[in-house]
Structure 1
Amino acid sequence: MVEQLSQREGDCFLLTPNRSMSWRGNIRIWLAAVFLSLIIATGMLLAGAWPVLPFAGLELTALAAAFYYTSRRCQRREVLTFAPELIRLEKGLTRKEQEWELPRRHTRVWQDMPRHPWTPPKLHLQFRGEEISLAPFLNIDDTEELVAILERHGLRVEKRRRPEKLLF
């Protein structure tokens, strides 16, 4: 998701992954799975298949871990600020963990074109040999919106195709 923020220093944009459900929504889905699993496990227990209970517990634990991991990864955010002479990129989960200040005039923007039409292109900022990925979690529409924003702020987005990686 691309959201414009107001800031005195220049245009500022918040880049976040799309989140289809809140943390409370995830908990409700998990509790529904617990309830359904308990009903099934109780029926199996009454039928004499008691070994089903530990596996039901393992299954629910794995589901809870998957919900937590996915929800945590969806909390990533990047803040992209365009000042008159600089581009500032800040990345982090709950707080700023990394920050780059790049001179606007000497920064290049690369767009790695995907091999499949359903895959979103990946954006990179490059300055002095250092290549910084820019919002790799965005979907196709949001990536196109970000490319338009970059071009509107005077940056030329150069398209490239990465060479195929060999699997052996």
Structure 2
Amino acid sequence: MVERLQCPEGLRLLLTPNRSLSWKGNIRVWLCLFAVSAVTTTGFSLAGAWVIIPFAGLELIALASGIYLTSRDCQRREVLTIDDTDIHIEKGRERKQAEWTLPRRYARLRVNAPEHPFAPAKLALTHRDMDVPLGQFLNIDDTTILVELLESRGVAIERKEPDSQIGLWF
């Protein structure tokens, strides 16, 4: 998701992955699946198949782990600030974990066209030997919006087409 933030000195964008559910929503889904599993497991164990209990528990632990890791990964944020002289990039989850500053005049946005028609383009801000990936979690529409916003602010765009390959793309 690309969101414009208030910034008096230029353009500030907040880039986040699309999230279908909040953390509380994920917990509610897990609790509903836990209830269904508990009823099913109870029924089978009363019928004599008590060995199903540890497997149901392992299944719920695996599901909870997957939900947690996916939700944690969806908390990534990138803040992109463009002013008259610099492009400033900050990345992190709950707090800033990494940051870069590139001179606006010499920085380029490299747009690597996808090999697959349903995949978004890969973006990176480059300057000399510095290469900062940008919005790796964005979908096709958000990637297009980001490229258009950066192009309208005067950031030079360098487009690269994928290498032609002989064969199937899937």
The aligned residue for residue 23 of structure 2 is: 23
CA contact (8 A) 2:109 2:158 kept: yes
- Inter-partner Cα distance in structure 2 for 1:72 and 1:108: 31
Find the residue that maps to 1:105 and give its secondary structure. Answer: coil
Contact preservation (8 Å) 2:80, 2:90? yes
- Matched pairs, number: 165
Structure 2 CA distance for partners of 1:124 and 1:54, relative to 1, 3 Å: same
- Identical-residue share of aligned pairs (%): 52
Aligned to 1:58: 58
CA shift at 1:156, angstroms? Answer: 2.3
Q: Which amino acid aligns with 1:13?
A: L
Deviation per CA, 1:94-142: give whole Å up to 9, x if none: 0001111100011111111111110011100111211110010000000
Aligned to 1:2: 2
Alignment of 1:1-168 (within 5 A): 1-163=1-163
**Distance between the aligned counterparts of 1:22 and 1:118, measured in 2?**
26
Q: SS state of the match for residue 147, structure 2?
A: helix
TM-score (norm 1): 0.95
Distance in structure 2 (CA, Å) of the matches to 1:60 and 1:154: 50
Greater Cα offset, 34-43 or 150-159 = 150-159
Give the secondary-structure state (helix, strand or coil) at the position aligned to 1:151: helix
Q: Secondary structure at the match of 1:157?
A: strand
Amino acid of the residue matched to residue 78 of structure 1?
Answer: E
CA-atom RMSD in angstroms: 1.3
> What is the CA-CA distance between 1:155 and the residue it aligns to?
1.2
Runs of 4+ in 1 over 6 A off after TM superposition: none
Q: What secondary structure does 2:56 align onto?
A: helix
Amino acid at match of 1:84: D
TM-score between both structures, scaled by the size of structure 2: 0.94
Following superposition, the deviation at residue 161 of structure 1 comes to 3.4
Gaps of 5+ in 1: none
Contact 2:123 2:134 in 1 (8 A): yes
